[in-house]
Amino acid sequence: MLARTAERGPVGESLQDSTGKAVGLTRFLSGSLPSSFRIFISIVLLSFFVGVIASLLSGSGLLASIARGGGEGLFIMGVPAVLSSAICFLARRKIRFKKILFVSFVSAMVYSLFYVAARFIEVNKFDMLSSFNVMLVGNALVFAIWFSVAYILFNIRKSAVFFGIAQPTLNMVFFMAYGPIASPATAPEIVLMKLYFASSIFLVAVYVMFWLVNAPMKRTFGVSGIEAGSLFLAQWFERSKKLEDIFDEVGVEIDTLLGVMAFKAKDKLKCVFLIPYVHFGPFGNLGGSEFPYILSNAINEATDAEVMVFHGTATHDFNPVSSEEAVKFIKKTQDALKEMQFKKALGSMSLGKSETCRAQSLVVNGKGFLALTRAPRTTEDIDFSLGLAFRNRAIASGLEEAMVADAHNAETGEITRVEAGDPLGFEYMDAIEKAVERRKKDKPIKLGVAADSLIDLGKEAGVGKDGLKVALFELDRERFAFVLFDGNSILPSVRKEIINAVKEMNIGCEVMTTDSHSANVVSGVINPIGRVKRDEIVKRAYQCVSKALKNLESVEADMRVERVEGVRVFGVSQSQQLIGTVNSIVAVMRVVAPLLFLAAALFALWAIAKI
């Protein structure tokens, strides 16, 4: 997610545009497969109607085509597709049957195109082409599809050829048993030999394609592009964490910050605010994607306090390579809590505005927690170096210490981030300065907290494991609530609805998200809260604030900002190189892959005609 002032490449394409293209690729992975029964019915209907069409092309009447052609299609295409699925599933039970059945369905679609073409060639007697050889080439292409899926998606290496050849072999066996098109080779073993020869030609084409994908990744990162892609898909569909090993290979070590603000009531920790200055990505359960839940759960178990993990000023460059990196932040948090000197909480709330940017400030005992937003305008990631400047500006404006959170609370579909030099950075700094300067007279602070896991809403709602949490502050007669969702941003309209609902209780409010990417595998990498079940989300947020209102009590507080050393992240240059490499691979393969398989098909047609 890149800045408005992103650099332009040699062809005039901005880094923001490149990121958008790379992000857009995930939309192809967003949908879920239909049930096995629906896929089975689709195979039956496809094979039946293809059989009818082929029979009509042969000159049969409509009723005869339906009666005989439909049965022919079921026998030639439907039975082999289902049977091959069953065989492959028995060979590898760990793979869900509907995935295997869906590949068989796609392969049957490809096979049907060549089957119809072969019948058309036979009827029109094109001497330059053998209809039977067209059938063989079509099944060789089915082999290539199955092999590629088994190798990349199912992460099968040694038995990928078996998975690839099962359906084409059964297709030809059932085809020869019925015989609607005469075979120039009378012996079945000769037919299968031609099929396997044609498949080997496509196998070479597949390996050439693999080499074209691997070469740029090997040159840039020293890892296999196919291996990385296979592990990526394994994570996306099965939540495998093996991709973290590759992240670790290309990662770099950095030093970053951790902000800790704690509130104690009756000699017991009531609430802890955490801002780890890393990015909670890349997606699923990889890297830092589940950091909000991991950190919250660990500190809660140790202290029994409600823990709210906010999004720091950090971009995808600061994605931890492994969830194990959370241990460093947990240890630093525990050390900070031990060293805190709690005092009666006195402070104020204030809001600073500059152009489109706002800073909501909570100052407690001279130390400030600031939340930045541009909502309803796009509010996305902020570069770490800018975050340091923001913190320094807050301290220079009169605070003893400061921790700055990115509210990340307005998803508009625009892929952007605030980098050094962006005019928004100066607007944010001015807003922070005004917020601090507008501090009111310190007043005793009461705090109420509440939480709702929202687990019953499902991942489709865009909420991660840490759910919904609320911290409600009362300063004399003024009340203000921080409503924090564990998710990858929120729709501006839903944020506004929550604010308006809470306002009915005479409570000010800001809605924030962690920018956790843990729920992004559901609908691609953009999955904002409120896209589904918005009414229920607004209702539950209102109820959570109401619950926090009931446990308001006086608190003591302190804050510390600690340096965390040796955190392994993906890194700035690696992120940019990965985006460029992925886009270049896709751009090349869009052209090369079709030409490669067309050349393989033509060569296979020529070669098997000579056998």
**pLDDT tens string 577-590:** 655 666 677 777 77
The CA distance from 74 to 93, in Å, is: 26
pLDDT of residue 248: 63
Take residue 362 and report the two structure tokens written for it: 């909570």
Take residue 303 and report the two structure tokens written for it: 């202290």
Peptide bond into 376 cis (omega under 30): yes
Q: Which residue has the tokens 């944020």?
A: 495
The pLDDT tens digits of the residues spanning 324-378 come to 899 999 999 999 999 999 999 999 999 999 999 999 999 999 999 999 999 999 8
DSSP state of 222: S
Looking at 365-442, which runs of residues are DSSP E strands?
Answer: 367-373, 381-382, 401-406, 417-418
Residue closest to 365 by CA, chosen among 477, 435, 445, 473: 445
Contact yes or no for 108/45 (Cβ under 8 A): no
* Strand 508-513 versus strand 478-487 pairing type: parallel
pLDDT over 60 (residue 168)? yes
Contact yes or no for 381/406 (Cβ under 8 A): yes
pLDDT over 70 (residue 411)? yes
Residue closest to 498 by CA, chosen among 389, 590, 376: 376
CA diameter of the chain: 98
Task: Provide mean pLDDT across the span 368-393.
Answer: 94
Contact yes or no for 314/279 (Cβ under 8 A): yes
The CA distance from 345 to 388, in Å, is: 26
Peptide bond into 188 cis (omega under 30): no
User: What is the pTM for the complete model shown?
Assistant: 0.75
3-state secondary structure of 366: coil
The pLDDT tens digits of the residues spanning 525-546 come to 567 899 889 999 999 999 999 9
pLDDT of residue 594: 86
The chain-wide mean pLDDT, for the chain, equals 85
The Cα angle at residue 32 between residues 527 and 45, in degrees rounded to 5: 150
User: Which range scores top for mean pLDDT: 86-100, 138-152, 295-309?
Assistant: 295-309
